[in-house]
Amino acid sequence: MTEFGEAIREHLNSASHLSRRHIHPRLLQMFELAGLDAVFTRAEGPHLWDSEGVRYLDLLAGGGVYFTGRNHPDIHGALIDVLGMDLPNLSIVNASPLGGLLAERLLGLAEGRFAKVVFANSGSESNEVALRFARQCTGRRRFLYLDGAFHGRSYGAISVCGFPEMRERAEPMLPTCTPIRINDLAALRRELRYGDVAALIVEPVQGMTGIALERGFLREAENLCNQHGSLLIMDEVQTGLGRTGSWFSSLDQGVRPHMMTLSKTLSGGAVPVAAVLVADDVYERVYGKFGSGLVYFSTFAENNLAMVAGLATLDVLEALDAPAESARKGKLLRDALVDVASRCDVIERIEGRGLMQTVYFRNSDTPVLAAQQALMGAADSSAFAASVHVEMFREQKVITQIPGPGVNGLKVLPPVVTEDSELLSFASALESTLSRFTDVRSGPVASLGKGVARSAAKGVREVLAAAPFDLPDAARFLEKKTF
């Protein structure tokens, strides 16, 4: 290992300490208060290991970027190869040596629906590009989006997010963005009839609610958009490239959007990359005028490492037959969760498609548990899900996710390389967590409380170990410190 590599290895144990000091102390503190305080030092496939060698099953997968699993050797190998080639890169006045290859592969996978690819650096940015193209293409201003939608955190993207909490203290947003209810065709028809809508933007399965839109809604949305001269933007940033059991969830359902955005899986988790697939007529309308070549440009978008990460990831996905594997494993997982739901009355329903599944909770019929849920729900509608999430992390060593603000559900995005037995073990870990919760001593309130207490105790130990003062001094110091 090089000196540089050794220095990084030595740093791993102090990473959270430095991050707390220099990056985002409040966020780390929030996780640690809940007991999510492992220090991860190694990763492979669907697993992370903490500094004590304990293995975690990672079903959060970096928010979906690790669909091929963490640290995939073929993706790393391709990156090392290209670094050794001394290729031209970011020359600006010339074609990207590798962008064309990746674009050709993506257009091929998308069944000929699109003619051009615009690369970007993140999911948010790809949606910004699509929104802007829609205005430039139609000469209209308004956008429609769905309740519960998530399209990113940059200004345009957040303006079409269906969670008002995400806009707090950030107003004013992009003007002229109108929410409509999920699957509400009457509302969509009404809004499109005004004739001022540039585009409707949708995710086939919503990342922050886990809900799969009805096929009938998506197909009729396409018809209505075409009828009224509006564009349909399909945000497949999270669903695209196999996650939901097909290469693209929307195309698989027979929907033909005007633009489709991709990111997450395409990166192989190695280098950020995003793409907007654009239909021919949209490209012509945006770039029709001579001199419009720089309507969109981003310095790093077609950088060699991002393009190679994309190409190598597509190779891995094809070799794994990822869409088919995702469909098969997704069914196995869903069936197992439905089976658990038949024995656990706190599970209301399972939402999702392929390897993107969300378990929604409701209040139990068991009085002891129901009382705790009512108490927690009064504070925060996702508090029960948070307690399950924490317990799964701490006791079962499984990493899951609360998908969106106030959502009382637990979402998983298993890498496609997760073994069948591991998916089944997740379902039984969930069942055993939910069963333990019926006992007041190990219920959800105690679980969250334990996290806070444990974290506070750890804080005290750290202060005592690090501080050059005696106990009375430490007590005075702690009085001023919030954990």
Closer Cβ to ligand PLP, 340 or 412, answer by number: 412
Of residues 129 and 386, the one with the C-beta less far from ligand PLP: 129
CA 342: distance to chain centroid? Answer: 28
Per CB under 6 A, the segment of 121-129, 186-194, 289-297, 417-425 that binds ligand PLP is 121-129
Residue closer to ligand PLP (CB basis): 127 or 138: 127
Q: Which stretch binds ligand PLP (CB under 6 A): 116-124, 213-221, 408-416, 436-444?
A: 116-124
Of the ranges 233-241, 348-356, 377-385, 445-453, which one interacts with ligand PLP (CB under 6 A)? 233-241
Q: Is the previous residue joined to 172 through a cis bond, with omega within 30 degrees of 0?
A: yes
For ligand PLP, which stretch binds (CB under 6 A), given 119-127, 171-179, 224-232, 437-445?
Answer: 119-127
Instruction: Give the CA distances from residue 348 to residues 8, 40, 360, 442, in Å, rounded to whole numbers and listed in that order.
Output: 45, 33, 5, 21
Residue of 135, 151, 334, 389 interacting with ligand PLP (CB under 6 A): 151
The CB density around residue 171, as the number of other CB atoms within 10 Å, is 7
**Beta bridge partner(s), residue 276:** 118, 261
- What value, to the nearest 5°, has the Cα angle with vertex 243 and ends 125 and 99? 45
Identify the residue whose tokens are 């995003």.
274
Mark the segment that binds ligand PLP (CB under 6 A) among 15-23, 117-125, 308-316, 393-401.
117-125
C-beta separation of 118 from 276 below 8 A: yes
> Which tokens hold the place of 254?
């027979």
> What is the rounded distance in angstroms from the CA atom of residue 203 to the CA atom of residue 145?
10
HSE-CB for 157 with a 13 A CA cutoff: 18
Binding characters for ligand PLP, 58-87, by CB under 6 A (x = yes): -----x------------------------
Q: How far is the CB of 121 from ligand PLP (least distance, A)?
A: 8
Q: How far is CA 401 from CA 108, 216, 420, in A?
A: 33, 29, 20
Task: Outline where 12-112 has alpha helix (H).
Answer: 15-22, 25-33, 61-64, 73-83, 99-109
Q: Of 236-265, which residues contact ligand PLP (CB under 6 A)?
A: 237-238, 263
The reply to whether 123 sits near ligand PLP by the rule CB under 6 A is yes
Cβ neighbourhood burial of 244 (10 Å; 0-12, 13-18, 19+): buried
Closest contact distance (angstroms) between CB of 153 and ligand PLP is 6
Among 148, 162, 204, 207, binds ligand PLP (CB under 6 A): 207
Q: Among 35, 152, 240, 444, which residue interacts with ligand PLP (rule: CB under 6 A)?
A: 152
- Please pick, from the candidates 35, 99, 110, 124, the single residue that binds ligand PLP as defined by CB under 6 A: 124
Stretch that binds ligand PLP, among 88-96, 149-157, 183-191, 442-450 (CB under 6 A): 149-157
Q: Residues interacting with ligand PLP, by CB under 6 A?
A: 63, 122-124, 127, 150-152, 203, 207, 235, 237-238, 263
